[in-house]
Amino acid sequence: MTPALPWWSGTVIYQLIVRSYSDGNGDGIGDFKGLAARLPYLRWLGVNTLWLTPIYPSPLRDGGYDITDFTGIHPDLGDLASFHRFLTAAHSQGMRVILDLVLNHTSDLHPWFQRARWAPKGSSERDVYVWSDDPKRYAEAPVLFRHFEASNWEWDPVAEQYYLHRFLRHQPDLNYENPWVQDTMLEVVDFWLDRGVDGFRLDAVPFLFESEGSRCEGLPETHTFLKRLRERVDRHGRDVLLLGEAIQPVQEAAPYLADDELHGAFNFVLTAHLFAAIASGRIQQLGECLMEAEQAVCGPRWALPLRNHDELWLGDGHLISDEVIQTIRVGLPQGQGHWLNWGINRRLAPLLNGDPRSNRLLHGLLYSLPGMPCLYYGDELGMGDWPGLRDRDPNRTPMAWTPARNGGFSTAPDPLLVLPPITAPGYDYRVVNVEVQKQLPGSLLNWHRRMLTCRRLLPALRHGSFRLLHSPHPGVLVYLRCTEAMTVLVAANVTAAGASLSLDLSEWAGERTREVMWGCEFPPAAAEWFVNLPPYGFNWWLIGEVEPAATPA
């Protein structure tokens, strides 16, 4: 008998920022009360896992990734009781909830850091963070937020030492050499699992340990700690998802997915190649990346994001080649002037110049490739952004619910809003919002819902095997997703021109082929099976007689 699949196998992850999603108490800031009221929408849309960016007390100098208390709720969002009400409601509507957990650092306002800087040098309190008398230590570790920081070290006049911060200077790195740090962070994990959460998105996992002469990423000690974390999670005796954020090449991200380590990891290389494919109209490197990821670990364990709350991270040539970075820079004109740190600071729709065809194509790939597709809130509407806001705030503006004031996000007066709702031309919330798009059968929102429904009815797309087929067209990606009972064929045209091609389906000669979305019949499979795809067009076909609805969910 095949073992039961974990709940997260093939799950669709919806990432949201609670403070930007829905305001339940009218103070201009989204909260758990507001989010709980939106659960029926999320259920209607068809996503099954909610990933909440940090919800903890924080001075919010890095969107909440600067934490002052790992076991509390930021008072803007509610309290533990309102979190609990939300979690119970999400579970009762069939959704799982994973929390962002920042293991690597805290805010400099965290009591641990304040205690550390005043404690004597070499004391156990000081030792909770990473200190040095020499800011040239770990010189090979790149500065990640290069537009904000010139060094990974900051002088602390109270401690009279430098402290390490791989991110912003107000985010000192915890010292994982210190057993107290490890034990305490494991207690944090216990705390949230005891409260019923279903997993964690582990922020910035590669950076937990440092070693001279290396980039200080993914060191063996980091993996040892993550195995300890996994073991601790397993003790809770239920299926929990540990999803790592390691913005690293596939071969370096794969070790996090050892059987006794994390369950899932984001495939950011694939994200970059998806954009590069659109930018260049060619699929060769995308295909190679897919094969590499598939060979490294079995496909369903990769989480597949298009965009998120950060810039579209392309890196310094370590993640993907300079050539691919250049392809994206040149081929996506909307990215040109919006470079932040090592990536492009725009939301999906503006990045694609507002073209719904490429938007659908990229999501069509995401929903049919092996892994856990990640949908960033608002991208289901093609929501825009506000370039010019500070840091990554352009991508974090309030969700557009209705054409009413503030897009239905909040009843508060404008100056109190967490961030300004989008009124940019082409993306104005009076047009681009849930209420309007629900009523338009051809809207992007209704398209997403339909695609997610199809995906639910096709187990092959959720956890079937993956096989790349030979494509006679340089701009058309062709692949199969198969379970024993079902074969789904996918063809996707990444070019801005139409494509016609002939596929060799002799393996299934004479079998019925049906297009999935609208159910239309195609000619039976044959050695020369002709397909026409419009610009940025794609299709999913069922091969054989199996009925989607009749297959086990």
Which CB, 28 or 172, lies closer to ligand BGC?
Answer: 172
Which CB, 247 or 444, lies closer to ligand BGC?
Answer: 247
Which CB, 102 or 432, lies closer to ligand BGC?
Answer: 102
Which CB, 65 or 479, lies closer to ligand BGC?
Answer: 65
**C-alpha span between 242 and 530 (Å, rounded):** 43
Residues of this chain that bind ligand BGC (CB under 6 A): 62-63, 65, 102, 167, 203-204, 245, 309-310
Which residue has 């030492």 as its token pair?
A: 161
Active site residue 259: no
Name the minimum Å distance from CB 313 to ligand BGC: 8
Q: What phi and psi values does residue 161 have, to the nearest 5 degrees?
A: -150, 165
Name the minimum Å distance from CB 191 to ligand BGC: 20
Give pairs for 529-533: CB < 8 Å, separation 24+: 529/502, 529/503, 529/504, 529/505, 530/500, 530/501, 530/502, 530/503, 531/491, 531/500, 531/501, 531/502, 531/503, 532/498, 532/499, 532/500, 533/476, 533/491, 533/492, 533/493, 533/498, 533/499, 533/500
Give the total residue count for the chain: 553
**Of the residues 31, 173, 203, 217, which is catalytic?**
203
**Of the residues 156, 210, 245, 391, which is catalytic?**
245
Name the minimum Å distance from CB 61 to ligand BGC: 10
Name the minimum Å distance from CB 103 to ligand BGC: 10
CA angle 493, 496, 502 (to 5 degrees): 35
- The DSSP letter of residue 343 is E
| CB atoms closer than 10 angstroms to residue 176 | 21
| Cβ-Cβ contacts under 8 Å for 128 (sequence gap 6 or more) | 112, 113, 115, 116, 174, 175, 178, 180, 181
Tokens representing 69? Answer: 């208390």
Which CB, 76 or 203, lies closer to ligand BGC?
Answer: 203
Which CB, 294 or 311, lies closer to ligand BGC?
Answer: 311
* Residues 119 and 126 sit within 8 Å (Cβ to Cβ): yes
Which residue has 């993956």 as its token pair?
A: 466
Name the minimum Å distance from CB 5 to ligand BGC: 28
Residue in the shown chain whose Cβ atom is closest to ligand BGC: 65
* Residues 380 and 45 sit within 8 Å (Cβ to Cβ): yes
Which CB, 102 or 324, lies closer to ligand BGC?
Answer: 102
Q: Where are the beta strands (DSSP E) in 233-321?
A: 241-244, 264-266, 302-305, 312-313
Name the minimum Å distance from CB 375 to ligand BGC: 16
Beta bridge partners of 132: 162
**C-alpha span between 493 and 478 (Å, rounded):** 9
Active site residue 245: yes
Name the minimum Å distance from CB 66 to ligand BGC: 7
**C-alpha span between 105 and 100 (Å, rounded):** 13
Residues catalogued as catalytic: 203, 245
